[in-house]
Each structure stands twice: as C-alpha cells, then as structure tokens.
Amino acid sequence: MDPRRRHELTRYGAPTAFLAAVTIAGAQYYLIKSGDTLGGIAAQYHTTVEELMRLNPQLDPTALRPGTQIRVS
C-alpha cells in the first residue's frame, strides 16, 4: 500500500472507528416487563418518552410487549 494512503487511512480511519465504538458501547438497553409504560421507563432512566421514541422508532407505545428490548440511551 502506498505510504501516503496508509497515513491518510490511519489519520482519519482510527478516530472514526474510535467514535463509532464509543457510541455503540455507550448504548443502554432495557427489557420491558409486564405493566411497564414508556413514561415509567423514561422516568427511571431520567429521559423523556419522546427521546425513547427517537431511539426506538419501530416501537408502538400503545403495545409494549414483555420481553421486548428497547434502547434507553
């Protein structure tokens, strides 16, 4: 590989990979239990229902199913 190309990949690729890893590693998940509500989960994790919906766009807030894993941060 051309040394200039290798330097360029190292210079930009390493920080990008690091940021991606930190972002993924920082995610927190919650396993829905019977009786849970998005409002209750949001309060437990000091966030909002709107933020939970942004993190989980596939989630139907009126049909939470026990055993479903959602992202909370």
Domain count, the chain: 1
| Neighbour-count burial of 2, counting CB atoms closer than 10 A to its CB (0-12 exposed, 13-18 middle, 19+ buried) | exposed
Q: What is the mean pLDDT of each run of 10 residues along the chain (73 residues)?
A: 78 72 78 97 97 97 95 96
Q: What is the CATH number of the domain that holds 48?
A: 3.10.350.10
Whole-number Å distance between alpha carbons of 32 and 44:
12
Domain residues for the domain of 67 are: 3-71
Q: Is the overall model pTM greater than 0.75, yes or no?
A: no
Provide the b/e sequence for 44-69 (b: ≥16 CB within 10 Å). Answer: eeeeeeeebeebbeebeeeebeeebe
